[in-house]
Structure 1
Amino acid sequence: MNVKDEWRRLRAMDWGELDIKESGGWPFLLQLICCLLVLGLTLAGMYWYLAAPKAEELDQARTEEVRMIRDYQSKAAQAARLDVMREEMAVLEERMGLLKEMLPTGAEVPSLIDNISEAAISNQLSIDFIRLRSPVTQEFYVEQPFDIRVRGGYHRIAEFLATVASLPRIVTQHDLTLEPQEGAGGQQLQLSMLARTYRYRQSDEEEAP
């Protein structure tokens, strides 16, 4: 086969008169080009219909493998720290138990009010009122606010606040207002504040209106 002759025949062809039925008489280079084109299209079709879905499945499998390895490493690290985590959980449960003991039950709120009254009296303060507000139900606990107003000397009031803060049950103090008492020559002060105590909410308790 003379390549130059075949190339000359290919260039001299009238492309508009090509007939697929006479492909056996086409120049060899044209036949070769057509065969390569058909082969390329066949290989591309085979890849598209056969190999491409498998390649996509392979990519998904590799991604899943990476995720599973990461999960395994995370769980292996947790398993290695299992004893430490159990000790930490035991410490947290112990602390939680101590905190629960510091929260009054519903029946203990009146005695807590009595303790606050006794603290005011022991510090020689005059009690205007200690007045309960409506309880506020949160997700895990019930908040019991109450208003306090007492009168007395500055140092006595400071001792009273310290005594309330050190009660066995948790009492938080908010919105403190200290004002001179009228007609007392500046020697007597009036303390107004909002105090809150807390108790655990029982599962069967209804939410406060």
Structure 2
Amino acid sequence: MSLNDFDDIAEEASIAKKKKFNLDKFLQQWNTLDANNFGSWPLSVKVTVWIFILIGMIFLGYMLLLKPKMDEISDANAQEQNLLNEFKAKDSTLRNLQAYQRQLQEMEANFNQQLEQLPKETEIPGLVEDMNVTGVNSGLKFRNIRLEPEVQQEFFIEQPISIEAVGDYHSFGAFVSSIAALPRIVTLHDFTLTAGPNTEKRTDIPQITYTVKAKTYRYVGNATEGAQ
């Protein structure tokens, strides 16, 4: 081992001894402090006390001032999120409600339009006359067309009309198309077709006897309005 190595070891031992001495001296200073004479305390002890006091003040300030405010902010953020979610839900409901209201208005408009196509009680004879003219223009010959007793339903009154006519297939097809084009609602039910020889024309095309029941409808309110 060289001389330089001995010098380094001696220097490290001296530093360690010095540090140990300073620490012992610092502890001795704490043990000999005079609580009634703060001005006579060593500077190192004063700095240490100030550091502890500062740490204590910061801790108390955090616990008494900052932490409650931070808790309030956290609660406010949670409440804000809840209110935001509630707003989104209500906004979605409102948008759907507006769409439902538009659909309801469209349905009401369509319903009123359909009601306008239902004949009033005073219009039934005129409707029968229109059906008669439509059949004649289509090439049919009516043997019988009569009103049957009304059938009361929950929201409307059903008026059956019994029809018996003679003609060929084309005439009957034209008659059905013309009935569908009437401004009033008329439906056809219970078709009965009977083919027979054509005695009026010399042709192989058979003559068809048609028995069909037409039905038209009128709104129950129309009957009340007519009575009033």
Fold conserved (TM > 0.5)?
yes
Residue among 116, 133, 139 paired with 1:118: 133
Residues 34-183 of structure 1 aligned to structure 2 (within 5 Å): 76=90, 78-181=93-196
Uncovered stretches (5+) of structure 2, i.e. residues with no partner: 1-85
Quote the offset at 1:158 in angstroms: 1.0
Quote the offset at 1:203 in angstroms: 8.3
- The whole-number CA distance in structure 2 between the counterparts of 1:150 and 1:101 is 29
Would the aligned equivalents of 1:180 and 1:186 in 2 still touch at CA under 8 Å? no
C-alpha deviations, 1:77-111, integer Å up to 9, x for none?
A: 54342221221111111111111111111111111
Alignment match, 1:201: 220
Alignment match, 2:42: none
Residues 95 and 117 (structure 1 numbering): CA distance in 2 closer, same or farther, change over 3 Å? same
Q: How many residue pairs are counted as aligned between the two chains?
A: 133
C-alpha deviations, 1:9-67, integer Å up to 9, x for none?
A: xxxxxxxxxxxxxxxxxxxxxxxxxxxxxxxxxxxxxxxxxxxxxxxxxxxxxxxxxxx
State the one-letter code of the partner of 2:106.
V
Instruction: Determine helix, strand or coil for the equivalent of 2:212.
Output: strand
Instruction: Determine helix, strand or coil for the equivalent of 2:221.
Output: coil
Going by fraction, where is helix more abundant, 1 or 2? Answer: 2
CA RMSD of aligned residues (A): 2.3
Uncovered stretches (5+) of structure 1, i.e. residues with no partner: 1-71
Would the aligned equivalents of 1:104 and 1:198 in 2 still touch at CA under 8 Å? yes
C-alpha deviations, 1:128-150, integer Å up to 9, x for none?
A: 11111100111100000111011
Instruction: Give the share of equivalent positions with the same residue, in percent.
Output: 31
User: What TM-score do you get using the length of structure 1 for normalisation?
Assistant: 0.58
User: What TM-score do you get using the length of structure 2 for normalisation?
Assistant: 0.53
Quote the offset at 1:115 in angstroms: 0.4
Moved over 6 A (4+): none
